[in-house]
Structure 1
Amino acid sequence: MSYAIYIGRNHSRTSHAWLGGYGDEPSSHWLEIVPAADHPAGATIGVGVGAEADMPGVRSSIPQVGHTLRHMRVSYSYYKGVPAPITNGGVNEKGVAVRDVWSTSRDELIAMTPVDQTGPNYSDLARVALERAGTARAAVEICGALIAEHGESTYGGNSHLFADADEAWVMIQFAGGKGLWVAERLGPDAIRASRPGYVLEVPVDTPDHPDFLWSPNFVSFAREMGWYAGGPFDANTVYGDGKGRWDGVCWIEAEMAERAARAGKIGIEDVIWAVRTERLTGDTAGYGQVVPLVTPADPDLYMMWHAPTGAIAAPFAPVFLGQRDVPAEFGPHRYLTTGESHRFMDLRKAVSGGVDTVSLVPQAAEATRSAVAESKRLMYLLHLLGEDALARATRAFAAREAALAGRTERLQRVVEAALAAGLREDALGLLGEFSASELRAGLDMVMALAGGFAAELSALGPVEARQEPVAFLQLW
């Protein structure tokens, strides 16, 4: 399902907007930085879903552009049969940030979706936006044009939240194979959560409205189906689940509005809290992500704060677009990676004619710690020990992040000066070393906390074997 939250810049202590959230899938997740690339004329990319998807389709190819942008993202290995690697989004060298969030369509649209559907799937759209978009609005326009020309491969309805330093857009793609979509602009006063993504009343009588975009058939198809006869056009009622804002969305939007009303407005600690709170975040959250929507002095200074699993059990650390790579501990591992259960770190079966028998994960990477696996262990210890243990872990993470935010600001000033002086290689090397060191320090904290909590749990006596796992109460 996933989760996104956008905070407009007028609510921000630092006068810039924020985009946070997480991917909500159980398979393996890894952080990666994808370099810019040039592509020859006639190049294509594979998109869509195959016959094995929960809502099947036919894979196809669409034209690649001549140049794709450097970006960083979190990828994962499985969701509803969509071909891996899959992504919910990240941020690119133009400062466009992307989050992908489920948004179900009405039952009739799901039922009419062709079994041979073609066109980009939700991950394809997120990736293409990162590779091509220079603004949030351009991301909507790119996705809309791709859907119009090639169709869309749906799993029942979806949304994206595209954001840049000036504005954000929520785009809903509806099931049905009809190319239906709508997008709403979010300005500097907006506080918007998506889970599911939603757009409510659309001013369909004002086709040039600056805050809305929609597909050419958006109104006519609803009239044709008898779902709309005139008056206010509520997109969620006409094409969605008709539930409007879900309880969790109402709660977090109200909580953030209350924080925005304080004298200090919203800071990074508040956005992290919105992604971490146990009311919203648990075992389903594959990672945490917070992007400050700024315009830095150099594109290599675009950054995001990353937690390797659900942030109730992992601290955030900064990752910069200009660094060359990320530590192997935060890259691909076999833990929860779809298909790895039948593969080996051994070439003998491949040599003897075995098919798909050698692991897709580098052996050197698998020899490192897995940040996801270690953080998951801590999460389950917190669940077993309860609210008090969670509060202690949260205080430790928050204290570390508060100190790290200050160190990160100082580093950015030093790197800006080095870049201005022409010391690019030195500056980018410093960014990478700082990020890698802080990511690993956060992992050390996770493992130390897990060790302490494991000893505490052991001291309390045998843990009763349970058929059902325990968890903190969540609103969704």
Structure 2
Amino acid sequence: MSYALYIGSDLCASGHGWLAGYGDEPSGHWLEVVPCRSHATDSTITVGVTAEAALPDQLSTFPQVPRTARYMGVNYSHYLGAPPPLINGGVNQHGVAVRDVWSPSRPELVAMTPPDQRGPNYSDLSKIVLERARTAREGVEIIGALIATHGHSSYGGNSHLIADAREGWVVIEFAGGLGLWVAERLGPQSIRALRPGWIGLILQEAGEDVLFPEHFLETAQRLGWHMVGDAFDVNRVFGDGRGRRPGVAWIEDEIARRAARSGGLGLEDMIWAVSTPRLTGDSAGYGQIVPLTAETPEMLRMMWHAPVGPVTAPLVPVYLGIERMPPEYGRHRYLGRGESARFIDRVHEVTGAEAISDIPQGAASTRSAVAVFKRLMHLAFQGGDAWVAEVSTHWRAVERGLAAELADVQRSAAILADAGAPELARRLLTEHVETRLLRVLAEAEALAAGYEARLRAGAGLNMSTMPRLPDQIW
């Protein structure tokens, strides 16, 4: 289902807004920085879903642009019928950040989705926005143009939250094969959580604060779901009609309360919003917080990243300018789709390529950060609220230390870049990020060893099929 949270700049102590959230996928995850790439004039990209999807499709292609932007985000290995690797969002060199969140369409729209639907799926749209958009609004326009030209492969409805230093946009793409989508602008005073994605009342004229295709209102009227002259509630007309869900109301109201305090919202509030056990558990595949800053050098664009749900894991700042990712945080065999039937050798080539893993042997011989932090998560969960709070307290202290380093690291990299040595700036950022990621990984292993020893000496490991978990609101 995933979770996204946008905070406008006027509400923040830092003077810039934030985009945060996580993805819900029970699969392998890895953090990746994708460089700028030039593409031949005849280059194409493959998009869509396969016959395995809940709403089946066939893959299709359309032209790639001549040059794509540098970006980073978390890839994952599986969603039904969608070819991997998949991505729910991240941030690009222009400061455009994206989150992807499920948004159920009206049942009648799902039922009328044609069996031969074509076009980009939810992950394709996230990736293409990261590759192409220079502003959040341009990201919305790219999605609209792609749907109009190439269609959309829906699994029942979806949304994106796209943001830059100036504004945010909630974009909902509807099932039905009718090319229906709508986007609502979020400004500097906005607080918006998506889980699932939703838009309520909108102006019935496209403009600065709302965008939709020309046939959007007419389609609702033709199908008898909206009467001319009535207020247009997007969720009621084209969505599931359930409005603002209880979990969304809770986190938006809590953020508004915190924003009313003297000084406004800070990084610690954003960390709390993605790490509170009321919202975050095992289903959160990772955590992301992107500062929506203006006029930031490309290499200093960054996001705070947690390899699993931040309820028991730290968020570590990762810069777009780094040259490599520690293999522990890269693509791994842990939870990789199909890896249970594959080998890392050449003996089994005779049985077909599907028997051979494409994970490098060196990567497979390292620790998986996802596996290490998942182990710590479930050890802490077995100890109850007290242990969860204890682990969280530790990581929040670590994050404060990491935040205190940021200004010096960024200033050092800027000095090197301004002196004509950008390669040294990238090396500085790479070694800084690598050191911090590996340090918290070692700490996680030490914490897990301690909690396991305490469990074995006390209540014992929970070997039942009923997991012990925090009480989540969703």
Establish whether residue 362 from structure 1 lines up as the match of residue 360 from structure 2.
Answer: yes
- Name the counterpart of 2:179: 179
- Name the counterpart of 2:429: 431
Bigger mean CA offset, 234-243 vs 75-84 = 75-84
Could you tell me which runs of 5 or more consecutive residues in structure 2 were left unpaired when the two chains were aligned. none
CA offsets per residue over residues 194-249 of structure 1, 9 Å max, x none? 10111111111x33x31000122111111111000121000000000111110110
Q: CA RMSD in A?
A: 1.0
Length-normalised TM-score, structure 1: 0.98
What pairs up with 1:63-462 in 2 under 5 angstroms? 63-204=63-204, 206-207=205-206, 209-230=207-228, 231-350=230-349, 352-462=350-460
Partner secondary structure for residue 366 of structure 2? coil
How far the C-alpha of 1:448 sits from its partner, in A, is: 1.3
- Name the counterpart of 2:21: 21
Equivalent residue letter for 2:37: A
Distance 1:344 1:265 in 2: 53
Would the aligned equivalents of 2:384 and 2:468 in 1 still touch at CA under 8 Å?
no
Would the aligned equivalents of 1:313 and 1:446 in 2 still touch at CA under 8 Å?
no
Would the aligned equivalents of 2:382 and 2:462 in 1 still touch at CA under 8 Å?
no
- Inter-CA distance 297–200: structure 2 relative to 1 (3 Å threshold): closer
Partner secondary structure for residue 95 of structure 2? coil
Would the aligned equivalents of 1:248 and 1:475 in 2 still touch at CA under 8 Å?
yes
How far the C-alpha of 1:296 sits from its partner, in A, is: 4.3
CA offsets per residue over residues 370-425 of structure 1, 9 Å max, x none? 00000110111111110000111010000000011011221111111221121211
Distance 1:111 1:297 in 2: 46
Equivalent residue letter for 1:284: S
Would the aligned equivalents of 1:296 and 1:302 in 2 still touch at CA under 8 Å?
no
Would the aligned equivalents of 1:292 and 1:303 in 2 still touch at CA under 8 Å?
yes
Distance 1:12 1:412 in 2: 21
Would the aligned equivalents of 1:346 and 1:358 in 2 still touch at CA under 8 Å?
yes
Length-normalised TM-score, structure 2: 0.98
How far the C-alpha of 1:462 sits from its partner, in A, is: 3.0
Distance 1:276 1:115 in 2: 40
- Name the counterpart of 1:3: 3
Would the aligned equivalents of 2:157 and 2:173 in 1 still touch at CA under 8 Å?
yes
CA offsets per residue over residues 235-275 of structure 1, 9 Å max, x none? 00000011111011000001111111111211111101101
Equivalent residue letter for 2:56: P
Pairs aligned (count): 473
How far the C-alpha of 1:159 sits from its partner, in A, is: 0.2
Equivalent residue letter for 2:75: S
Bigger mean CA offset, 366-375 vs 353-362 = 353-362
Distance 1:146 1:324 in 2: 32
Bigger mean CA offset, 458-467 vs 26-35 = 458-467
CA offsets per residue over residues 170-213 of structure 1, 9 Å max, x none? 00000011110000000000011010111111111x33x31000
Distance 2:268 2:333 in 1: 32
Distance 2:358 2:249 in 1: 42
CA offsets per residue over residues 38-84 of structure 1, 9 Å max, x none? 11112110000111112210110011000000100100011122111
Distance 2:406 2:437 in 1: 12
Partner secondary structure for residue 252 of structure 1? helix
Distance 1:106 1:470 in 2: 35
Would the aligned equivalents of 1:2 and 1:195 in 2 still touch at CA under 8 Å?
yes
Would the aligned equivalents of 1:6 and 1:190 in 2 still touch at CA under 8 Å?
yes
Equivalent residue letter for 2:247: G
Would the aligned equivalents of 2:342 and 2:354 in 1 still touch at CA under 8 Å?
yes
Would the aligned equivalents of 2:307 and 2:373 in 1 still touch at CA under 8 Å?
yes
- Inter-CA distance 464–426: structure 2 relative to 1 (3 Å threshold): closer
Could you tell me which runs of 5 or more consecutive residues in structure 1 were left unpaired when the two chains were aligned. none
How far the C-alpha of 1:355 sits from its partner, in A, is: 3.3
Equivalent residue letter for 1:468: M
